[in-house]
Each structure stands twice: as C-alpha cells, then as structure tokens.
Amino acid sequence: MPKTGRWCPLAERLSRWARIHLLKVILRERTQMEIARACGVSRQAVSNWLAKEAYHPNDKNASVLLRLAWQVDRRRAKDILRAEAKRYSSELQRIGIAF
C-alpha cells in the first residue's frame, strides 16, 4: 500500500482536472509503469486515467501523484494547486460566499 502522509487531506479535494495535470507533470520524468507501481495499480489503469473521461485516480492515488509531482516539478505542482484554489474560490463567490 502506498504511503500518502501529509498529502492525503489535500489530495482528497483535487478535481479530476488537477489529478490528470499532476499525472502529466510526472510523466515528463517517469513512465506509466513506474507511476502504476507507486500507486499500486496496473499500467492500464494509468493509461485509462489519461485517455478516458470516466476514469481518474482515487483519493489515495491522487495523494501519491501529488507527492510525485512535487518531487518532479514543484513550480508546476504549485501552479496546479493555485488553479484549484482559484476555482474553489470562484465557485464560493458564485454562490455568495466570499472571504
């Protein structure tokens, strides 16, 4: 079972968009097979995450992806997290909750 550690609570809130973008960051330096091993899934599962809209990494795997993306390219991982925060903020403002 992959270790999730400090990333798990944050990863649970990531959209499919963010999860796939983190995966693409990792794919710059690692193969689908290496990512699959780190997540404890098949290479086909990783391929499905990329190719099929109905598939995405679960929360535990998103935590692993976040950790790996942080190791590969912190700047890009931060950009993805900032985009997620901005999206959530916009959604809250749209329903009348601002902070």
- Cite the DSSP H helix spans in the chain: 8-11, 16-26, 32-39, 43-51, 59-72, 74-94
55-65: per-residue pLDDT in tens? 899 999 999 99
Q: Estimate the share of the chain in helix, then strand, then coil, as percent rounded to the nearest 5.
A: 70, 0, 30
The domain locations on the chain are 5-94
CA distance 35 to 44: 11
- 27-73 tens-digit pLDDT: 999 999 999 999 999 999 999 999 988 889 999 999 999 999 999 99
> How open is the CA angle 66-93-14, to the nearest 5 degrees?
15
CA atoms of 56 and 35, how far apart (whole Å): 14
Is pTM beyond 0.85? Reply is: no
Answer for the pair 26, 65: CB distance below 8 angstroms, yes or no: yes
Spatial neighbors of 32 by CB under 8 A, at least 6 apart, are 43, 46, 47
